[in-house]
Structure 1
Amino acid sequence: MFKGLGQMGDMAKMMKAAKEMQSKMGELQDSLHDMTVTGESGAGLVKAVASAKGELKSLDIDPSIFNSDDKEVVEDLILAAIKDAQAKAAELAQQEMGKITEGLGLPADFKMPF
């Protein structure tokens, strides 16, 4: 008479898991602002610090590279450090999201829509 009610229990579990994942994702999004990575170029002469969201937080340039003749080199080093920090930020964010998806039984390489 009530065949299929067992599936409703499964649906309730899925809804609970989805709400739990949504909550964890919200917490993760907030914490990604506080996590930082440092990108470097020129053997550490230029360092860029970014949040795990990829937002540039600070830039540290060794004064020894300031020579008016090397303007393009300095600009390239700055860009390289920023790109390195952003790549590391993306990797860190993906690792942190992977922890959540693994906890829910999803594949480790599951891509989130953001």
Structure 2
Amino acid sequence: MMDMMKMMKKAKEMQAKMAEMQEQVAEMEATGVAGGDTVKITLSGKGVMKTLSIDPSLINPDDAEILEDLIIAAHNDAKSKVEAAMQEKMQDMAGELGLPAGMNLPF
């Protein structure tokens, strides 16, 4: 019976930590860059684009395809940074809860 109580306590701790982590992730931002910092995109932790900055030297109707590619590259850079930060937070939380290394959260 004591083990069941410990498991219930751990489950409540995990729920609280997950809620806290979700709040932290929602507040985080990551900026992706492309083209030598000529295109910058900032995403929220939930992947919502917050800002887009394009160096005026890139705005040329003949180079529209290049600009489109740079925007996509900057977005993907920012997204990978958000995902890496989320993964790091998950690993930290797993360690704090005493879960084995390599265990993926959420289950």
TM bin, normalised by shorter chain, reads over 0.9
Deviation sequence 1:50-82 (CA, Å, 0-9, x none): 122222211111111111110000000000000
Distance 2:4 2:52 in 1: 49
1:81 corresponds, among 74, 78, 101, to 74
Deviation sequence 1:8-34 (CA, Å, 0-9, x none): 112111110110110110111112111
> Paired residue for 2:33?
40
TM normalised by structure 2 equals: 0.92
1:95 corresponds, among 63, 84, 88, to 88
Structure 1 residue runs without a partner (length 5+): 1-7
> Paired residue for 2:53?
60
Structure 2 residue runs without a partner (length 5+): none
> Paired residue for 1:5?
none
CA shift in 2, pair 1:102/1:72, >3 Å: same
Distance 1:108 1:74 in 2: 42
TM normalised by structure 1 equals: 0.87
Q: Indicate the RMSD between aligned Cα atoms, in angstroms.
A: 1.4
> Paired residue for 2:104?
111
**Greater Rg over alpha carbons, structure:** 1
Could you tell me how far 1:105 is from its partner in structure 2?
A: 1.3
Kindly indicate whether the alpha-carbon contact (under 8 Å) linking 1:36 and 1:50 is maintained by their aligned counterparts in 2. Answer: yes
Q: Percent identity?
A: 50
User: Match for 1:37: what amino acid?
Assistant: A
